[in-house]
Structures are given as structure tokens and as C-alpha cells.
Amino acid sequence: MNFSQFIFRRTLMVIPLLVGVVFLTFMLVRVGGLDPVGLLAGPTATAEEFDMIRKELGLDQPLWKQFLIYAGNVVQGDLGESWLSNRPVLEDISSRSLISLELLFWGIGLGTLIGVPLGLRAAFNPNGRFDQTTRVMSLLGFSIPTYWLGLVMLFVFFYLLRWAPPGMGRISLMVSPPDFITGSYLIDSLLTANWRAAHSAFAHLILPVVCLAIVSAAPIIKQTRAIALEVIASDSVRYARACGLKTKTVRDIVFRNSATPIITFVGTEITGLVGTMSLIEYVFAWGGLGQYGLNAIVRGDFTAVQGYVLTLALFSVLVFLVVDIIIAIIEPRSELT
């Protein structure tokens, strides 16, 4: 099978998955006991007003009919309107996705840059002092609740030390954001040579990025170490050693052979971390997709929740597709299935 066939097949496989996701989220939000009518109607509403709102939202229709209407709209790229803000969900999600992607990119990027070398180094000398230290560190990273970590970082670096800016979003309130190019305040302000905005955007990125990096680095360290240990124990590496190759050359072989499983793991990490992202965004008032999703769930904004979950599913699929492509490029031996 050649590469384009592979991609085409993969894309086709996404369709039944998405249908399942659409169906499941649609049903789950409705049996979840949330009733947006009560929230919308407010404390002074009469029974008639309840009925009127129910009708306006189409909630008086049987469930299967509601689903058919929704599914029909989704197929045409219409995710509906938020019941609370009356804005199109698709518009909301696309503008926020960029904001979250930026944070995710820097956070996981930093986490990987820290996690992979640490994990490899630990694997080359298992149970040594370095290994022990990184093990404790990664255990800590695993067990710290993200929400708490964010608050503590704000408390220490903003409240006590005054080094970091307040957790009030992506840029200082006193700085006007740069013109829209990529959606990342940092990159856009650098591109437009708006140094003041770049300063502010950079400073605002540090704490949430570090927070996300800590949370993502912990499993990456642990997994990289395990993968590398396995590779070190493999026949090929043992053979290379037996041949008397230089340590550096052996390490290169280990690194090459570990790359595929590590990239796969980082891919799953990215998709797994979107939940953690919500909490980080919440603490730092980041205003991204995670915060949007969390808000929507809390407020019972059905259409927004459905759109959010659907986007996450699509995102996961995309990440895995990209992982597959990267692996196909760096490892031509792998079969395209």
C-alpha cells in the first residue's frame, strides 16, 4: 500500500468513529440530569414560560428526532448555537482551539524536551543515583493535582515573589493584543515587531507552560526509561555492544530504536492531556477551548458540550494520524496498515 492510499484509508476509518462520538455525547449530555431550561428560564418563570423555552430549544421533540436534526446539521458542518450565548459553537470552538493549541504546543514541547533526555539518561544507568532522582521527580509530577499545582505556582511566583504576571489570561490588561495572524499572541507580536505585547505574552505563557510541562514530563520520563531499557536489552543492541562499538554509537542505536515507541507515547500523552489543560486554563483564566468546555459542562450548555467533545475526538484522530505519518517517515520499515 502506498502512502496516499494509507492516508485515505485512515481518513475513512474516522467516519464511523465520529458517528459514534456524536451519538454518545448527544445521549450522555441528555441523560446527565442537566436541564438548561431551568437555567435559562430563571427564578421568576412560570410553567408556560418553561414550556415556551423548551419548545424554542426543540427540547419538546422526541429524543430520536432531536438527534436526527442534530446529526443532519453536523454533517453540514453546523454544530449549532450555544443555548446560553446564542453564538455559533463552531465559531467559538475554532477561535479557542488556536489559543489552547499554543499552550499545548509549548507545554508538551517543553515536557518532551525535558522528559525524553532524562528518561534516556536514567535508562543508561538503571538504579543509579540519577535514575533514583528522576524516579522521585516523575512520581511527584504524577501525583500533584494539576489544579493545585497551578494555584501554588501563582501563589509563589506571583503573590509572594512578584516575578510572574497575575493569572489573568494571555496578555496584560494594559497591553493591547497584536493583530491576528496565527492566533498565538507571542508569535503574532514577534511577527509584527510589537515588543511590548511579545514581552507580556511571553511572561504570561511561562507559568501555565511550566505547569503543563511538569505534568506531561512525568509520564514521558517514566515511559522513555522503560522503552529504552527494553531496547537496550534487545538482541541488536547486545550484538552492537558485543561487536565492541563505541558507547556513543550504541547510544545512537538505542535512541533510533526507541524513537518510534516514544513518539507514539507522546501522541497518546497529547490526547490525554486535553483534560488537564482544562484545569490549567481554568486557573490561569486562559480563555481557551478547555475553559470553554469546562464552562459548557458546568452550565449544561448541550450544544457547546457536544461540539467540544466532537472537537476533542477529531483532535485525537488527527494527532494519531500525524504520529503515524512521522513514524512512516522516520521508520520506512514499518508497515502501513
Instruction: List contacts with other proteins (CB under 8 A).
Output: 33-50, 52, 84-87, 92, 96, 151, 154-155, 158-159, 162-169, 172-175, 199-200, 202-204, 206, 282-285, 287-288, 291-292, 294-295, 300
| Integer CA distances (angstroms), 107 to 179, 222, 292, 330, in order | 24, 18, 19, 24
Q: Which residue has the cell 486535553?
A: 274
Backbone torsions φ then ψ of 81, nearest 5 degrees: -110, 145
Q: Which is nearer to other proteins, 204 or 225 (CB)?
A: 204
Q: What is the spatial distance between Cα 25 and Cα 74, in angstroms, rounded to a whole number?
A: 13
Q: What is the spatial distance between Cα 215 and Cα 57, in angstroms, rounded to a whole number?
A: 40
Q: Which is nearer to other proteins, 45 or 321 (CB)?
A: 45
Q: Which residue has the cell 511577527?
A: 191
Side chain identity at 68, as an amino acid letter?
L
Task: Fill in the DSSP letter of residue 156.
Answer: I
Q: Which is nearer to other proteins, 44 or 76 (CB)?
A: 44
Tell me the closest approach of the beta carbon of residue 60 to other proteins, in angstroms.
14
Q: Which is nearer to other proteins, 19 or 156 (CB)?
A: 156
Q: Give the angle subtended at the CA of 94 by the CAs of 60 and 38, to the nearest 5°.
A: 30
- Report the DSSP beta bridge partners of residue 208: none
Tell me the closest approach of the beta carbon of residue 192 to other proteins, in angstroms.
18
Tell me the closest approach of the beta carbon of residue 281 to other proteins, in angstroms.
8
Q: Which is nearer to other proteins, 165 or 267 (CB)?
A: 165
What residues have CB less than 8 Å from 24, skipping those under 6 apart? none
Element (H, E) at 95: helix 89-124
Tell me the closest approach of the beta carbon of residue 129 to other proteins, in angstroms.
26
Tell me the closest approach of the beta carbon of residue 106 to other proteins, in angstroms.
14
Tell me the closest approach of the beta carbon of residue 92 to other proteins, in angstroms.
6
Q: What is the spatial distance between Cα 263 and Cα 33, in angstroms, rounded to a whole number?
A: 40
Q: Which is nearer to other proteins, 82 or 216 (CB)?
A: 82
